Amino acid sequence: MYFNNETLLYLDGKFVKANDSTTNLYSQTLHYGYGAFEGIRSYETEHGTKVFKAEEHYERLKKSCELVKIPFNYTVQELVEATYELLEKNNLKNAYIRPLVYCGQNMSLSKPTSVSVLIAAWDWGAYLGEKLLRLTVSSYCRPHPKSIHIEAKVCGHYVNSILATNEAKDNGFDEALLLDSDGFLAEGPGANLFFEKDGKLFTPQFGNILPGITRSTVLELADELGLEVEQGKFTKEDLFQADSAFYCGTAAEVVGIASVDDCQFPTNWNDSLGKKLQNAYSLLVRDPLKQNHFN
């Protein structure tokens, strides 16, 4: 699904066949989750294939590495260029792009001995599907921000996301919703949360969430549409009393939420602010001219 005999990867400045690629089994990333990654999408537009917010994603990758002291020996620009070249070589247009900074052989809990950067890309449709999501509040909370750097997209953090997703699916739901360690609304396993109440939007503030690039795009679009958004600390009860809600993320894009623990949102999704933002997002990612105007 992710690669075939022809697929090329970008690895440390070279393009190599995915089929011929190997990794060191004593990698610190493999054993301890000590690595950082990104999730980026490209879209086919009238002006050719465009990687959405490529610079922002590679800046976040750099920041993630800096926060966890993994040397980042690349410029954002060279990785953006490598991404475009990779898409072209693999003949990909609407793709999902996965950069990964991973560490070499070192079985100690110490600084990495060597670091590599891999970029893979593949065709990927809607990550959470097209239909409205049925969420459940997870029994797992997001990691405490004093245990890890919550604002970094670090490989090992995603065990928390996998546990929450598996629990939700095992209990018959589509996706999990995680609270922070103080019991306030945080985010999904791979997406940020927004909800609507009385014509206004609300979203959890920074501190216990990944600062999503889609979240910031949604904030820009909301501003453009003249919608009021409050960032703050909110409870589960705030969400249960909301009119509608949605998740947003690079892979998920903007996706409506039908219910949380079978408590249905009253506003029809098609009449919600989320639907307006979903449409605006879908147009923006396919319109490079509008993106220039935004930047």
- The residue (of 214 and 278) whose beta carbon lies closer to ligand PMP is 214
CA dihedral of residues 239, 240, 241, 245 (deg, nearest 10): 50
Q: 187 vs 196, which CB is nearer to ligand PMP?
A: 187
Distance from chain centroid for Cα 270: 24
CB of 106 to ligand PMP, least distance (A): 26
Contact 72, 59 (CB under 8 A): no
| Residue-wise burial string across 118-150, b where 16 or more C-beta atoms lie within 10 A, e elsewhere | bbbbbebeebbeeebbbbbbbebbbbeeeebbb
**185 DSSP assignment:** E
Please state whether beta strands 133-137 and 253-260 pair in parallel, antiparallel, or not at all (unpaired): parallel
Other beta carbons within 10 angstroms of residue 273's beta carbon come to 22
3-state secondary structure of 44: strand
CB of 142 to ligand PMP, least distance (A): 8
- Residue 249: enclosing H or E segment and its boundaries? strand 244-249
Q: Does the active-site annotation cover 153?
A: yes
Distance of closest approach, residue 194 Cβ to ligand PMP, in angstroms = 12
Rounded Cα–Cα distance for residues 126 and 255 (Å):
9
Binding residues vs ligand PMP (CB under 6 A): 39, 153, 161, 187, 190-192, 210, 212-215, 249-250
Measure Cα distances from 282 to 25, 42, 45, 252, 285 in Å: 40, 12, 11, 12, 6
Q: Given 153, 233, 276, 290, which residue is catalytic?
A: 153
- Three-state DSSP class for 213? helix
Please report where in the chains the tokens 């605006």 appear, as a residue.
280
Q: How far is the CB of 110 from ligand PMP (least distance, A)?
A: 27
Q: 83 or 214, CB closer to ligand PMP?
A: 214
Length of the chain: 295
Nearer to ligand PMP, 50 or 153 (CB): 153
Kindly tell me which of 8 and 221 has the beta carbon lying closer to ligand PMP. 221
Rounding to the nearest 10 degrees, give the CA dihedral for residues 107, 110, 114, 119: 90
- Least Å distance, CB 111 to ligand PMP, is 25
Q: How far is the CB of 28 from ligand PMP (least distance, A)?
A: 21
**Catalytic residue annotation:** 153
